[in-house]
Amino acid sequence: MGLLEGQRAFITGGGSGIGRATARLMAAEGARVAVCDIDGDAAEHVAKEIDGEAFHVDVTDAAALENAIRTAAERFIGLSIMFNNAGGGMLANVHEYGDELWDRLIKLNLTGVFNGIKAAAPIILSSGGGSIVSTASISGVRPAAGEAPYAAAKAGVVALTATSALEYAPLIRVNAVSPGSIATKLTDPLWAVPGEEARAIEHTPLKRLGQPEDIAKVVVFLCSDLAAFITGQNIVVDGGMILHGSGVDGILTYLQSAMRGDPPQYY
């Protein structure tokens, strides 16, 4: 019997990276899984891999997300797990973020999680309880220059997690997971920067980039009975990287100097 035998899960950002790895592992551990992604084709592909359900939804559209969650719960006859994983970011100085871009990044990384919790919590309660996990980031714990809206939103996810844990206990456990440098489509542009992958590995005590499966294992643990006495926590999964500082220390300065044609001022 798997760790999540009989569980019914809904995952946002499930079409690739951490979301896909978590969907696959949850299914392998016995859960029925609904895969939601802004990329409908990606969601369909992952759902077919795991015999799950697919939903083409933008998490910033609260009504569409709520409808998808309700539909999944109807098909599964209830819901016991919500994994708020959708997100994204970029790098720029604070004054370079226009109002529209700031709003879009906050809406994606924080309001999207709020939308997921708001829609899923009542259904999980009516289904007998369960677990909510949201993807925060080490950027919300140790921000770097250039990450203002992303870091602020991810810190907000940690606070929202704690508040929700208080409100929905004892029937729902609510936790967050904060990845470090993980090899996904989202972080591919970082590894294209000369020397960045080697720097990230050097500054990670465990001497490698994280893989999506490293995060998926922690999410599954948090949703399982093995974590029955854990709620309101933010679990950092970064190979020890933030023991040395933030995840992308210095990369904005490096990129700016490169664009000016200056000698690299990075390490």
Predicted pLDDT at 267: 29
Predicted pLDDT at 204: 92
Predicted pLDDT at 263: 45
Predicted pLDDT at 251: 63
Contact between 179 and 210 (Cβ < 8 Å): yes
Contact between 211 and 238 (Cβ < 8 Å): no
Of 214, 245, 211, 253, give the one whose Cα is nearest residue 139. Answer: 245
Q: Which residue in 150, 168, 266, 267 is the catalytic one?
A: 150
Q: What is the pLDDT of residues 71-88, one digit of tens each?
A: 999 999 999 999 999 999
Q: Give the residues of the chain that fall short of pLDDT 50.
A: 263-267
Is residue 150 annotated as a catalytic residue, yes or no? yes
Contact between 126 and 8 (Cβ < 8 Å): no
Domains present along the chain, CATH in parentheses: 8-260 (3.40.50.720)
Predicted pLDDT at 77: 98
Predicted pLDDT at 193: 79
